[in-house]
Amino acid sequence: MDKIKVMSVFGTRPEAIKMCPLVKKMREYEQIESVVCLTGQHREMLQQVIDIFQVKEDYNLHIMKPSQTLTSITTDVLTLMGPVLEKEKPDIVLVHGDTTTSFAVALAAYYQQIPVGHVEAGLRTYDKYAPFPEEMNRTLTSRIADLHFAPTEANKECLARENIEKNVFVTGNTVIDALQTTILRDYKYKSPELIRILNDMRERILLVTAHRRENWGQPLRNICEALCEIAERYEDVAVIYPVHLNPKVRDTVFEILGNRERIHLIDPIDVEDMHNLMAKSYLVVTDSGGIQEEAPSCGVPVVVLRNETERQEAIEAGTVRLAGTDKKKIFREISALLENQEQYDRMAEAINPYGDGHASERIIRAILQYFGVR
Ligand code: UD1
Ligand code: UDP
């Protein structure tokens, strides 16, 4: 066989953070011709990542619309992916995780009978509405995929429970590959807003992100109100919250948390700023999936603004706690970690169940093996 043509397709910030290390690694393999297609489900937040990792796309479908719907993302990706796949005829398409981009691209490839490799396979909560629509996106992607790259043994077991046992490879998570290049000892921040905030900061940093669909509306209001009370109660704590660009999120967050003492609302920061800020934070409070993997690796405890998580490894290791979206419960969980040093220290032990930073190489070797190429 000539070179294997691998088309990596992604469209949102977290997919890009976890796919770019793999795309870069593929450049080192002469047996592989790597093609990159962005769906453009995100725009600025995607560009920030691509620029940092210096990945150049071959295609960008530019599908993002303000306040886009799940239907528009799915149908636009399906419609626009077809001609790209027909032109490029890749030997395999790689998708990542659980976004609507991932599922729709997998489906588009399946319609042309092109094998699909699923990076970050086998994460499950078994609740189809939490996270929504991610749980269904990844479950359906697993049904379509031919190769499954599971970050952990537990993820492999989840796939086995669904009778998916062929071509499942435990690889670690490529987020650890990414972290190894982004976190630096004498890191210099780039965001002028962040530099200004960090200048002379004496308080303990509470790094917050919240944007999930199932938290829009009242749950997000509860989260914001709990954060207000934390900032009022603890004068030695400052909240830094890079707010997602979605207007549905921004409207609520700025209404409740805008112009408050020791609460800093900033625009999304690039991944290098984010990872280094995370490493220097006292506590992370988030509904993000990826941050639940990153913070434990940095030895920073995480309060998760969800009722369930697909990242059970971090729960078992004790660095992540579920607070859900009840205002009182969120306040209690954060407050306990601000006040109780013993509890904090127990959670702050750095653990990394997600691999050794060589996930990309394992994924590439599995692809070569699948195609019978040395
Ligand atoms: C998407 C994913 C979610 C992932 C998240 C990462 C789906 C259904 N959801 O959710 O799994 O956790 O990305 O952040 O696939 N926007 C901009 N600029 C950007 C990005 C977004 O303005 O660069 C705004 C747009 O108005 C857009 C809206 O945010 O319509 C929502 O974006 P969307 O991708 O639909 O939802 P996310 O909540 O980002
Ligand atoms: N992130 C970032 N800048 C920000 C906020 C988050 O680079 O301002 C990174 C974060 O470190 C993690 C990823 O984005 O790697 C998480 O993305 P998000 O929370 O949007 O999606 P999820 O992981 O929930 O799918």
Q: What is the DSSP string of 253-312?
A: HHHHHTT-TTEEEE----HHHHHHHHHH-SEEEE--STHHHHHHHHT--EEESSS--S-H
- Answer whether 294 contacts ligand 2 (Cβ < 6 A): yes
**What is the number of the ligand closest to the CA of 68?**
1
Residue-level pLDDT, tens digit, the chain, 374 residues = 689 999 999 999 999 999 999 999 999 999 999 999 999 999 999 999 999 999 999 999 999 999 899 999 999 999 999 999 999 999 999 999 999 999 999 999 999 999 999 999 999 999 999 999 999 999 999 999 999 999 999 999 999 999 999 999 999 999 999 999 999 999 999 999 999 999 989 999 999 999 999 999 999 999 999 999 999 999 999 999 999 999 999 999 999 999 999 999 999 999 999 999 999 999 999 999 999 999 999 999 999 999 999 999 989 889 999 999 999 999 999 999 999 999 999 999 878 899 999 999 999 999 999 999 98
> Which pairing describes strands 237-242 and 320-322: parallel, antiparallel, or unpaired?
unpaired
Cα 258 to ligand 1 centroid, rounded to whole Å: 22
Give pLDDT, residue 169.
98
Distance 288 CA to ligand 2 centre (A): 7
Helix (H) or strand (E) holding 64: none
Of 103, 209, 267, the residue with max ligand 2 atoms within 8 A of its CB, to mutate for a pocket test, comes to 209
Indicate if ligand 2 lies below 6 Å from the C-beta of 290: yes
pLDDT of residue 186: 93
DSSP code of residue 245? S
Task: Give Cβ neighbours of residue 37 (< 8 Å, ≥ 6 apart).
Answer: 7, 8, 9, 57, 58, 59, 60, 61, 81, 84
Is 153 one of the catalytic residues? Answer: no
Nearest residue CA, atom 8 of ligand 1? 100
Give catalytic status of residue 138 as yes or no.
no
Which atom of ligand 2 is least distant from the CA of 131?
24
The Cα–Cα gap between 25 and 254 comes to 40
Predicted local distance difference test score (pLDDT) of residue 374: 80
Quote the ligand 1 centre to 242 CA distance (angstroms): 14
Q: What is the pLDDT of residue 349?
A: 86
319 lines ligand 2 (CB under 6 A): no
For atom 10 of ligand 2, which residue has the closest CA?
291
Q: Which ligand is nearest to the CA of 42?
A: 1
**What separation in Å is there between the alpha carbon of 87 and the centre of ligand 2?**
32
Among all bound ligands, the one having the nearest atom to the CA of 210 is 2
Catalytic, 96? Answer: no
148 is annotated as an active-site residue: no
Q: Is 127 helix (H, G, I), strand (E, B) or coil?
A: coil
Give pLDDT, residue 317.
87
CA distances from 114 to 9, 16, 310 (A): 13, 22, 28
Q: How far is the CA of 42 from the centre of ligand 1 (A)?
A: 6
Residue 150: beta bridge partners? 170
- Rounded CA gap, 245 and 97, in Å? 21
Of the listed 124, 211, 264, 306, which one is catalytic?
Answer: 211
Report if pTM > 0.75. Answer: yes
- The confidence score (pLDDT) of residue 90 equals 98
Task: Give the other-Cβ count within 10 Å of 230's Cβ.
Answer: 22
Q: Nearest-CA neighbor of 162 among 222, 210, 118?
A: 118
C-alpha closest to that of 96 among 20, 209, 194, 158: 20
Annotate 133-146 with b (16+ C-beta within 10 A) or e (fewer): bbbebbbbbbebbb
